[in-house]
Structure 1
């Protein structure tokens, strides 16, 4: 189930990135960063599930950083 969420979040982020590259309009870039952050969170949860806690903690910290960046991009 987590793999499906990871695939969906990655696909949405890639679609936002491709849209920005094709049109030159980067107003959706914070959304792209947000979905990349969600993907990192899901990957972190998968690492915790596989008992690799150090990678899990690192990925959750990256999620928090990307969440901060995406919220900062809205304002």
Structure 2
């Protein structure tokens, strides 16, 4: 799980840095998709640690919202 989180974090960081430097925001849906995956993996890792508190479930709900926004971004372009 930790390797997946690190990999997704690097991908999100690279995509957003590229967008900020070049001011080309055509890749925004992809960065949102990877951000949603990162938040989902973080939420699942929290639930696996037997810390079934508020933040594990909240991360999963937030990731579903980010996936929804990402899908809308793909359909708008």
Same fold (TM over 0.5): yes
Give me the TM-score of the superposition, normalised by structure 1. Answer: 0.93
2:7 is equivalent to residue 8 of structure 1: yes
How many residue pairs end up in the alignment? Answer: 74
Give runs of ≥4 in structure 1 deviating > 2 Å.
Answer: none
1:55 paired residue number: 55
2:45 paired residue number: 46
**1:55 positional shift:** 1.7
Q: CA RMSD in A?
A: 0.8
How far does the alpha carbon of each residue in 1:9-65 deviate from its partner, in whole angstroms, 9 at most, with x for none?
A: 111011110111111100001111111111111111111111122221111001100
* Structure 1 stretches lacking a partner, 5+ long: none
Give me the TM-score of the superposition, normalised by structure 2. Answer: 0.90
* Structure 2 stretches lacking a partner, 5+ long: none
1:72 paired residue number: 72
